[in-house]
Structure 1
């Protein structure tokens, strides 16, 4: 690799990392605000919202929806269940399978909880032309894919 290419590659790396860092910082600030006012972490709120839409899911289905390993999801589900926001129901045909359902108190928590995105972000996003909203979402999803480790590679 030539010195010019290395400098250019490092420049992109620094720019990408700075943009990701800004998003991470803004996300952390909003996550603290969510916890303080809504009593739910952003991940817990996301799980409740997914269950409100999907009605019932298995833990492995939900893990894919929220991009978590089933093991990581388990503790979050335990906390939501202990608060009475969700329940687990055994499948009648396959007793090994459990269905996750949102309780009435979970729906109530969603009604009271602040939005996953800050109001100013929702307003600015809504003000964008439709093509730009789609492009921005596509770019964020693509960036997330780029950061996923290849399956055959150890971290």
Structure 2
């Protein structure tokens, strides 16, 4: 193999099938779990994630939340409208800057989260928790990096 040039295309092709299979498997499992979540209170995984984030953060602006969950402001706006219509979140004007609007989880949203299923499938959570901490960090870092590679080019 010494002296033989390997093109970038050949390099990627060697991994392409395995990467695509892994990504497809993750997508399929996410879709199955999303259907389970929909049966519980009609929430999508993204809606549940938004509520969990607001529960943890206390309050956020829509623009900060948009960046945090990797959604366009337009997409997030529709999701927030539906959550607000269901009484699961509230919008509150900033006392000092009336142009700023805060998003807060409502009491109904908190109650719903107390009984809500986990964001990730329970089987995955159990297997992931059984891994050594270094491996959990490594997998998380690898998935975050893969997501960056899939994202839009700036």
2:30 equivalent among 7, 12, 27:
27
Runs of 4+ in 1 over 4 A off after TM superposition: 2-8
Provide the residue aligned with 1:117 in structure 2: 120
Provide the residue aligned with 1:14 in structure 2: 17
In 2, distance between residues paired with 1:3 and 1:76? Answer: 50
SS of the residue 2:40 aligns to = helix
Partner deviation per Cα, 1:75-126 (whole Å, 9 max, x = no partner): 0000000000101001122111100011100001101211111111111001
| Per-residue deviation, 1:48 | 0.3
In 2, distance between residues paired with 1:84 and 1:39? Answer: 13
| Per-residue deviation, 1:150 | 1.5
1:64 lines up with 2:75 in the alignment:
no
Provide the residue aligned with 1:139 in structure 2: 142
User: Does structure 2 retain, via aligned residues, the 8 Å contact 1:57–1:101?
Assistant: yes
Alignment RMSD (CA, Å): 1.6
In 1, distance between residues paired with 2:5 and 2:26? Answer: 30
Structure 1: unaligned runs, 5 residues or longer: none
| Per-residue deviation, 1:37 | 2.3
User: Does structure 2 retain, via aligned residues, the 8 Å contact 1:51–1:102?
Assistant: yes
1:89 lines up with 2:118 in the alignment:
no
1:73 lines up with 2:76 in the alignment:
yes
| Number of residues of Structure 1 aligned to a counterpart in Structure 2 | 150
TM-score norm. by structure 2 comes to 0.92
1:130 lines up with 2:127 in the alignment:
no
Provide the residue aligned with 2:58 in structure 1: 55
